[in-house]
Chain A
Amino acid sequence: MRRLLTGNGAAAWGVRLAGAEYIPAFPITPQTEIIETISRWIGDGEFDARMVTMDSEHSMITAAGTAAATGVRVFSATSSQGLLYAMEMLYTVAGWRAPFVLVNVSRALSSPITLEPDHNDVLAARDSGFLQIHCATCQEVVDCLLLAYRLGEDERVRLPVIVNLDGYYLSFTREPVELPEEEVVRRFLPACDLQTAPIRAGDPVSQGVAVLGGSQYSYFRYETHAADRNGLTVFKEITREFARLTGRSYPAVEEYRAEDADIVFFMIGSFSTKAKAAIDCMRAEGQRVGLVRPRLLRPFPDEDIVKALQGKKGVAVLDQNISFGKGGILYAELASALYNADGRPEVLVSFIGGLGGRDISREEFFEMAKVTTRAAESGQIPAPRMLYTREELAQMHGLQAIAAAEMNTREEK
């Protein structure tokens, strides 16, 4: 039966269905509703798990990693500055090869401070060893929680996984969600196999290993990379099984009306459904436009992306992030995947938009498609385009005029 759930509610249901046993927690907007929901369930006796409130996200990830190393099923959640504060431990626990699931509810980073989303927070964890699944709907959130546990706990992977959902646009937004049957979940995701855990009571092991000289270090680091890459095969297998059980299919790369498209949008996250709305409009007037969206960002599904983009005239890459001094992160990742590929698209055009939750209008999707079409026809690639209007700059200059007046008043004093 379908019911209305927020993205945060869907995440909490995913945790409950997965049977997480240990949940170290620390609040931060817009994630807090997830741990509030779980704590209410535990308090009401509806969900049997141990939740511990920690003194910071740094401690929270440490606790999550150590608990995971003992073989219990662990969940935790954070956002934005919280993820950054935990960053040291993200890298560390991934190195322990301790599998657990961390939900990140995307929220743009300081400075200036904001509450609304973009992807610079989760992309800062890109190289940590955590696998990353990016959701576009509340349905995907609950299903991807289950997929994430299967993926991370698989013997060929054994790494923690981040499931990302956008703050506000998913976290606080209710949509119809079909919860998987508990019996189906038990079949898809059996209880943790304690035998594989490195640490057991009365049998001490230290994972705080130091190595010098670089050779052993290189071995361990490359092994983590190899395990991460194995995630591609494992994800393919488990999503096939999940589709058989639930009828819901989650390829590593989603394609929407892309097969016969000349121009495609390439992006991640919940704004991709806004792209779909725009694509339907353009298709209604005969424009051959589609969407290619990596759901799995780590490991990066190069092969599937290359295949989906083969023979396209142009790709509009929309980055909801900005790597200062370089530009859009997805753009660079995509370019590196395509450079040596046969039949690669003729042009890639870079757009940066939706920073700090700035909306992207339907008209802007139309315009991105037009700009990319023109680039494909002329072979002239435009400079990366930040989605920002004359009207927005006028408003900003208005605020600066007020600030200048305030500064003058202060100096007069």
Chain B
Amino acid sequence: MLRIRFHGRGGQGMKTASRILGSAFFLAGYEVQDAPRYGAERRGAPMFAYVRADKEIIYERGIISRPDLVVVADDSLLSLPVAGVAAGITPHSLLLIHSNHSPEDLQKKLALPCSILVLTAVPAGISCAAAASQLLGISWQIFKQAMEMELAALSEQQLTENKLAARNAYEQMAATNQQVVEQEEPDYSSANPPHWIELPFEDATISAPAIHGTATSLHMDTGSWRTLRPVINQERCSRCGLCHTYCPDGAINNDENGYPRIDYTHCKGCLICLVQCPLHAIESVPEQSPSYSNQQEEKQCADS
């Protein structure tokens, strides 16, 4: 059985990427299982998706604990333990990262036992799907058919653009000699038994769920979830305050002159402000890398 795990942020197209790969395997005659995993928060929050493909019926379910291939859409996830990119990686796993860093730099930073490949084609989602398909030996014809199935809701032009991007990523991976190795789950006699324990009684003062730290959301850098950044054009702004009123995260406050200021550490990039602004004084700018953008923001703050 082949086990592939995709990591990205909500909105980067990694659920779709996993579905394109799933459909491609299915069209190639495999039994398939694909599924995304995310919590209550969606856009910009770390998520993952997985695909299983086998020639036989698949009984395994749930998260993949020993992946053969891990595909990462966003290198800012690598330093985020909660994203779980490294979970279960073995020396036989292959790690494909969408990044502008070199494989050597990433290897040094991550210190993982597996081989690392870097993908630079954009946009991330469709490129990751195409690159993974190439690494898994799926023909371009089948990949294209799967992509058309999964992207049926897109316009002709969007589809053409996606195809171009996919082709680019597919070609980029053709040059590599790295291969995805199908790893076996441990068999019955060699499996390590779980370390089950008797769960002791503990006093209700610690065994009932509670959060003691207050205002913990202030410490949560939800700004790193942004894929698009709202930017206010102060010259156009009439200080009507609608963006401040509609911001669902309270991330827009007014300065002493009544002009709105966006708190980029907590703005998730939902762009409701952009939609609400009656004077079109807010535009959206793609985030290159969220961590990079926050550094820029801090720099700006330090400068001013």
Interface size on B, residues (CB 8 A): 40
| Cβ–Cβ contact A277 & B60, under 8 A | yes
CB 8 Å contact bits of A106-139 with B (1 = contact, 0 = none)? 0000011001000000000000000000000000
Ordered nearest first, which 10 A-B pairs have the shortest CB separation?
A277-B59, A406-B213, A406-B212, A173-B35, A390-B195, A112-B209, A407-B212, A276-B59, A273-B59, A363-B191
Q: With an 8 A cutoff between CB atoms, is B192 at the interface? A: yes
Q: Known contacts A281-B187, A361-B65; can you find 6 more A-B pairs with CB under 8 A? A: A175-B32, A176-B31, A277-B59, A282-B188, A370-B193, A388-B196
Contact in complex: B185, A271 (CB < 8 Å): no
CB neighbours of B37 from chain A (8 A): 168, 172
Interface on B for A, CB 8 Å cutoff? 19, 22-23, 26, 31-37, 39-40, 58-63, 65, 185-189, 191-197, 199, 206, 209-214
The CA of A387 and the CA of B194, in the complex, are separated in Å by: 9
Shortest Cβ distance from residue A233 to the other chain B in the assembled complex, whole angstroms: 31
Task: Kindly list chain A residues whose C-beta atoms are within 8 Å of the C-beta of B186.
Answer: 362-363
> B60 to chain A: which residues have CB within 8 Å?
273-274, 277
Is B23 a contact partner of A4 (Cβ separation < 8 A)?
yes
A187 at interface (Cβ–Cβ under 8 A)?
no
A403 interface neighbour in B22, B23, B212, Cβ under 8 Å: B212
Q: Is A280 an interface residue (CB 8 A)?
A: yes
CB distance from B101 to the nearest CB of A (A): 31
A364 vs B213: C-alpha distance in the bound complex, in angstroms? 36
Least CB distance, B98 to chain A, in whole angstroms:
23
Q: Is A400 an interface residue (CB 8 A)?
A: yes
- CB pair B213 A281 closer than 8 Å: no
Expressed in whole angstroms, the minimum distance between the Cβ of B160 and any Cβ of chain A is 25
Establish whether residues B59 and A274, one from each chain, have CB atoms under 8 Å apart when the complex forms: yes
From B19, B31, B40, B58, contact of A115 by CB (8 A):
B40
* Distance between A80 CB and nearest chain B CB, rounded to angstroms: 13
Residues of A within 8 A of B196 (CB): 367, 385, 387-390
Tell me, rounded to whole Å, the shortest Cβ–Cβ distance linking B197 to chain A. Answer: 5
Q: Which residues of B contact A281 (CB under 8 A)?
A: 185, 187-188
Nearest CB of chain A from residue B272's CB, rounded to whole Å = 20
A169: Cβ under 8 A from any B Cβ: yes
If A112-B209, A388-B196, A406-B213 touch, whether A173 touches B191 (CB-CB below 8 Å) is no
Q: How far in angstroms is the closest Cβ of chain B from A15? A: 22
Among residues of A, the one whose C-beta sits closest to the C-beta of B208 is A111
- Taking a contact as CB atoms under 8 Å apart, the answer to whether B194 and A367 are in contact is yes
Nearest A residue (CB) for B62: A359
Residue in chain A with minimal CB distance to B19: A174
Q: Which of A175, A361, A386, A403 contacts B199 (CB 8 A)?
A: A386
Are B59 and A403 in contact, CB atoms less than 8 angstroms apart?
A: no
CA distance A363 to B65 in the complex (A): 12
Contact of A270 with B by CB under 8 A: yes
Q: Which residue of chain A has its CB nearest to the CB of B26?
A: A4
Which of B22, B61, B185, B211 interacts with A273 by CB under 8 Å?
B61
Distance in angstroms between the alpha carbons of A385 and B26 in the assembled complex = 39
Query: Could you pull out 24 A-B pairs where Cβ atoms are within 8 angstroms?
Result: A4-B19, A4-B22, A29-B40, A111-B209, A115-B40, A172-B35, A172-B37, A173-B61, A174-B19, A176-B26, A273-B59, A274-B60, A281-B187, A287-B188, A366-B188, A366-B193, A367-B194, A387-B194, A388-B196, A388-B199, A389-B195, A403-B210, A406-B213, A410-B213
Q: Known contacts A169-B61, A386-B199: does B32 contact A174 (CB below 8 Å)?
A: yes
Q: Does A393 contact B (CB under 8 A)?
A: yes
Give bound CA distance, A168 to B22, whole Å. 17
Residue of B nearest to A110 (CB): B209
Give A143 to B59 CA distance when docked, in angstroms.
19
Question: In this assembly, does A409 line the interface, its C-beta being within 8 Å of a C-beta of chain B?
Answer: yes
Alpha-carbon separation in the docked complex, A227 to B276 (Å):
57
Q: How long is the Cα–Cα vector from A196 to B277 in the complex, in angstroms?
A: 57
With beta carbons under 8 angstroms apart, the residue of A169, A366, A385 that contacts B62 is A169
Q: A174-B19, A393-B197, A403-B206 are in contact. Are A362 and B191 (CB under 8 A)?
A: yes
Distance (whole angstroms) from the CB of B55 to the closest CB of chain A = 13
- A285 interface residue, CB < 8 Å from B? yes
Residue numbers in B under 8 Å from A273 (CB-CB): 59-61
Q: Are A4 and B59 in contact (CB under 8 A)?
A: no
**A389 neighbours in B (Cβ, 8 Å):** 194-197
Residue of B nearest to A276 (CB): B59
* Chain B positions within 8 Å of A277 at CB level: 59-60
Q: Closest CB of chain A to B213's CB: distance in Å? A: 4
- The distance in angstroms between the C-alpha atoms of A359 and B63, with both chains bound, is 8
A residues near B206, Cβ cutoff 8 Å: 400, 403-404
- Set B32, B62, B214: member contacting A274, Cβ < 8 A: B62
Q: Flag whether A209 is at the interface (Cβ < 8 A).
A: no
A258 vs B45: C-alpha distance in the bound complex, in angstroms? 44
**Cβ–Cβ < 8 Å partners of A366 in chain B:** 188, 191, 193
Beta-carbon contacts of A284-301 to B below 8 Å, as 1s and 0s? Answer: 110100000000000000
A403 and B34 CA atoms in complex are apart in Å by 37
Q: Are A174 and B35 in contact (CB under 8 A)?
A: yes
Report chain B residues within 8 Å CB of A176.
Answer: 26, 31-32
Contact B188 A173 (CB under 8 A): no
**Bound complex: CA of A174 vs CA of B18, how far in Å?**
11
Within 8 A of B (CB), among A358-413: 359, 361-364, 366-367, 370, 385-391, 393, 400, 403-404, 406-407, 409-410
